[in-house]
Amino acid sequence: MLIVIALGGNALVKKGERGTLEEQRRNLKFALSQISELAKIHDLVITHGNGPQVGNIYLQQEIASKRVPPMPLDVCGAMSQGMIGYLIQQELANFLKESGLGKNVVTLLTRVLVDHNDPAFKNPTKPIGPYYSEVEAKRLIREKDWSMVYQAGKGWRRIVPSPSPQGIVEIDSIKALLLKNIIVICAGGGGIPVIRKNGKLVGVEAVIDKDLTSSLLAIELNADMLVILTDVEGAAIYYGTPRQYFLGNVTVSEIRKYLKAGYFPPGSMGPKVLACIRFVESTGKPAVIAKLEKVKDAIEGSAGTRIIPD
Ligand code: ADP
Ligand code: MG
- Read off the pLDDT of residues 248-298 as tens digits, 9 standing for 90 and up: 999 999 999 999 999 999 989 999 999 999 999 999 999 999 999 999 999
Helix locations, the chain, DSSP H: 21-38, 51-63, 73-98, 134-144, 171-179, 210-220, 252-260, 269-283, 295-300
41 within domain boundaries:
yes
Give me the chain's average pLDDT, please: 95
Choose, from 27, 50, 129, 272, the residue flagged as catalytic: 272
List the domain range (segments joined by +) for residue 237. 2-114+183-308
151 within domain boundaries:
no
225 within domain boundaries:
yes
27 within domain boundaries:
yes
Check which CATH number belongs to the domain holding 249 and give it.
Answer: 3.40.1160.10
How far is CA 79 from its chain centroid?
15
Other CB atoms within 10 A of residue 7 CB: 28
Q: What is the pLDDT of residue 153?
A: 86
For the chain, the farthest-separated pair of C-alpha atoms sits apart, in whole angstroms, at: 59
pLDDT in tens, 165-212: 999 999 999 999 999 999 999 999 999 999 999 999 999 999 999 999
* 210 is a catalytic site residue: yes
In this prediction, residue 15 has a pLDDT band, given cuts at 50, 70 and 90, of confident
Note the pTM of the prediction, 2 decimals. 0.95
Residues with CB under 6 A from ligand 1: 8-10, 49, 230-232, 235-236, 239, 263-265, 268-269
Is the predicted pLDDT of residue 223 greater than 90, yes or no? yes
162 within domain boundaries:
no
State in Å: Cα 90 to ligand 1 middle: 28
> Best-predicted range by mean pLDDT among 120-129, 149-158, 280-289?
280-289
What is the spatial distance between Cα 91 and Cα 32, in angstroms, rounded to a whole number? 7
155 within domain boundaries:
no
Judge whether 24 and 12 are in contact, CB under 8 Å: yes
Could you identify the atom of ligand 1 that is nearest to the CA of residue 229?
A: 3
Per-residue DSSP letter, 164? P
122 within domain boundaries:
no
* 10 is a catalytic site residue: yes
Other CB atoms within 10 A of residue 53 CB: 25
* 180 is a catalytic site residue: no
Q: Measuring from atom 4 of ligand 1, which residue has the nearest CA?
A: 8
In the chain, the number of structural domains is: 1
Is the predicted pLDDT of residue 225 greater than 90, yes or no? yes
Q: Are strands 225-230 and 287-291 parallel, antiparallel or unpaired?
A: parallel
Question: What does the DSSP assignment read for 84-135?
Answer: HHHHHHHHHHHHHHHTT----EEEE--EEE--TT-GGGGS--EEEEEEE-HH
Shortest CA distance to 184 belongs to which of 228, 221, 215, 224?
221
Q: What is the pLDDT of residue 295?
A: 96
